[in-house]
Amino acid sequence: MKAAFLGIIGSGKSTLLAAISGRQYSNTGAAQIEEVIAQVPDDRLDWLYNLYKPKKNVRATIDCLDLPGLSFSDDHTRAAARRLLNNVRTSELLVLVIKAFDQAGIKAEPLKDLSDLMTELLLADLELVETRIEKLKIQAAKPSKDQARQKAELEFQLKLRQTIEDEKPLNTVIKTAEEIEIVKPLGFLTLKPMVIVFNTSESEPAKTFDTSKIINQIIPVISVCAEIEYEISQLDAASKLEFMKDLGMAESAAHKFVRSCYSALGLINFFTVGDDETRAWPILVGTTALDAAGKIHSDIKRGFIRAETISFADLKQFGDEKAVKAAGKTRLEGKGYIVQDGDIMNFRFNV
């Protein structure tokens, strides 16, 4: 699962990504898209690690793409921005990093920047539809075995164009399974899940902004001071706790942010435990036990018998596996069981 980090030049994308990946920040101002792996913090996993004391503790991760900064100041930079936007059509999540800190006497205009970015995403989708319409017009004019399908798609694409021009969300006109199939490979940006991050100043890290006139209120919006989070990420564990206590923070904003990206991607964790490792496995909400087994190994899926399952809450309450079993809380689940967030699973299989 890939999350693309977008924002105007210098909005703090690379600083934020350094903070959530634990790597060193370097201001290369890279012209290339860079891939950064962010670990997904989960207190439950850390608790399991303390209980089982295995050799390794393996967190879930998100693949993040650090994009070069966008600029919409003239035709040249706008064209470059459009090319970059076309490069993220295969990402599953868009993270919009909005500059909300003043710098070198220049006042930030976070709401204007957000609004500009949303407009550019819409225009990029409009361009995509128009290119598709032109192509279909030529194809559908020639008799072929696909002609009927091409004509039907042309009609649908014209409807999509009208929707964008009316500034309505695309998903209002995508209804049937067929229509979903048509739009899937095109990768419309405005159909992707999104998370908005306001990169705030050190003096007001938790400052919030009224986005109600610009974006749909179901989009998660978070305030993070990337600079502070980066400083925290570079400390050792003990100093980290002390630093956060001084600032009155219960949890770092970066952690909260990564978790909202994770849930915006529709992901939850199940866990495996043992002497070797405790591990969080990312699965989409609604995944069956059989498919969850397949995430670990195709053999486990092929030879699936049953999944011994304990919920994290039960393990925490009763203290260890034996006590959970004695309380009758260990379950044997079959192939079709829908795995729940925090399930601890041990697959029985036979190959």
110 counts as binding ligand GTP under rule CB under 6 A: no
Residues of span 207-266 touching ligand GTP by CB under 6 A: 225-227
Q: How many residues bind ligand GTP (CB under 6 A)?
A: 19
Q: Compare residues 69 and 205 and give the one whose CB is closer to Mg ion.
A: 69
Toward ligand GTP, which CB reaches closer, 9 or 244?
A: 9
The H-assigned helical ranges of the chain are 13-21, 43-52, 75-86, 110-141, 147-165, 177-183, 226-233, 237-246, 253-264, 289-296, 298-302, 312-318, 321-326
Considering the rule CB under 5 A, would residue 200 count as an interface residue with Mg ion? no
Rounded CA-CA distance 198/97 in Å is 6
Question: Of how many residues is the chain composed?
Answer: 351
CA distance 302 to 335: 11
Question: Which residues, 6+ apart, have CB-to-CB distance to 62 below 8 Å?
Answer: 1, 3, 37, 38, 40, 258, 261, 262, 265
Q: Which is nearer to ligand GTP, 182 or 249 (CB)?
A: 249
When asked if residue 272 is in the footprint of Mg ion (CB under 5 A), the reply is no
CB 11, min distance to ligand GTP, A: 4
- 143-202: contacts with ligand GTP (CB under 6 A): 199, 201-202
Nearer to ligand GTP, 31 or 237 (CB): 31
Given a contact cutoff of 8 angstroms between Cβ atoms, the answer to whether 72 and 84 are in contact is no
- If one counts every other C-beta atom within 10 angstroms of the C-beta of residue 302, the result is 13
Show the site string, 53-92: x = touches ligand GTP by CB under 6 A, - = not: ---------------xx-----------------------
Tell which one of 29, 274, 286, 319 touches ligand GTP (CB under 6 A).
Answer: 29
Burial degree of 199 (CB within 10 A; 0-12, 13-18, 19+): buried
Q: How far is the CB of 8 from ligand GTP (least distance, A)?
A: 7
Q: Is the Cβ of residue 47 or residue 72 nearer to ligand GTP in the bound state?
A: 72
100 binds, among ligand GTP, Mg ion, none (CB under 5 to 8 A by kind): none
Tell me the DSSP string of 229-287: HHHHHTS-HHHHHHHHHHTT-SS-HHHHHHHHHHHHTTEEEEEE-SSSEEEEEEEETT-
Q: What is the four-CA torsion angle of 312, 317, 318, 320, rounded to 10 degrees?
A: 40
User: Can you tell me whether residue 194 is helix, strand or coil?
Assistant: strand
Comparison of 26 and 350: residue with beta carbon closer to ligand GTP: 26
Question: Nearer to ligand GTP by C-beta: 35 or 202?
Answer: 202
Q: Pick from Mg ion, ligand GTP, none: which does 252 bind, CB < 5 to 8 A by kind?
A: none
Query: Which region, judged by CB under 6 A, interacts with ligand GTP, from 9-17, 142-150, 160-168, 242-250?
Result: 9-17
Q: Which of residues 9-48 bind Mg ion (CB under 5 A)?
A: 13-14
Residues in contact with ligand GTP by CB under 6 A are 7, 9-15, 27, 29, 68-69, 101, 199, 201-202, 225-227
Residues in contact with Mg ion by CB under 5 A are 13-14
